[in-house]
Amino acid sequence: MGDIQLAGSFLIGGLVLLTIFSLNIEILETSSLNSLGTMAQENVVEIATILEYDFKKIGYMVPRTTPALLSITDSTISFLSDIDQDLIIDTIAYRVGSTAETSMTDNPNDRYLYRSVNSVEYDVALGITSWNLSYFSENLNVTSQLDSIRVIQISFSVGTTYGYNENYGRASWSGQIAPKNLGTIL
């Protein structure tokens, strides 16, 4: 009888240990995923702050006779502004890079977001997984005519460059900006 009780104790003790190890692994995974999500959210806030600052300044100090928007696509924009408030009109552009540029990261979908000022380009952020620009007229109708754009919608998602078990932290942001120097909206 003693051997059966000893074997049962080992069996129950083993099951308890397995349960504890399993719970520990789940806690570690949840903690890692929460940390990755927090990192992605922090990146989104930083990127959105930069974008809002620049996009609100589109056309700032640019003469009314000079078009402030130079070119647009659904993923690029180029505009004029005295972005650094030195009384010199600057040319600012945004674009996203390709996923091939980020082969050194674990995330297969992340890309750089590039910002250039007067043709000097640098990366603003790494981890952009989606990026879209939309343009609206004064009546909030979608438009691609540079002289009728009054509102710009920016939508992007960020993923962490490294993940946990191929799960990456993700966060998204979308906002509409109506630069004062593009004209008034209704």
Q: What pLDDT, on the 0 to 100 scale, is given for residue 21?
A: 76
10: CB partners within 8 A, 6+ apart: none
Question: How do residues 69-94 score in pLDDT, each as one tens digit?
Answer: 999 999 999 999 999 999 999 999 99
Tens-digit pLDDT profile for residues 24-37: 778 777 777 788 88
**Average pLDDT estimate for 101-108:** 92
Q: Which two tokens stand for residue 88?
A: 């010199």
* Reported pTM: 0.83
Query: In this model, does residue 186 exceed pLDDT 60?
Result: no
In 3-state terms, the chain is what percent helix, strand and coil (to 5)?
35, 30, 35
| CA 135 – CA 178 distance, rounded (Å) | 10
Mean pLDDT (the chain, rounded): 90
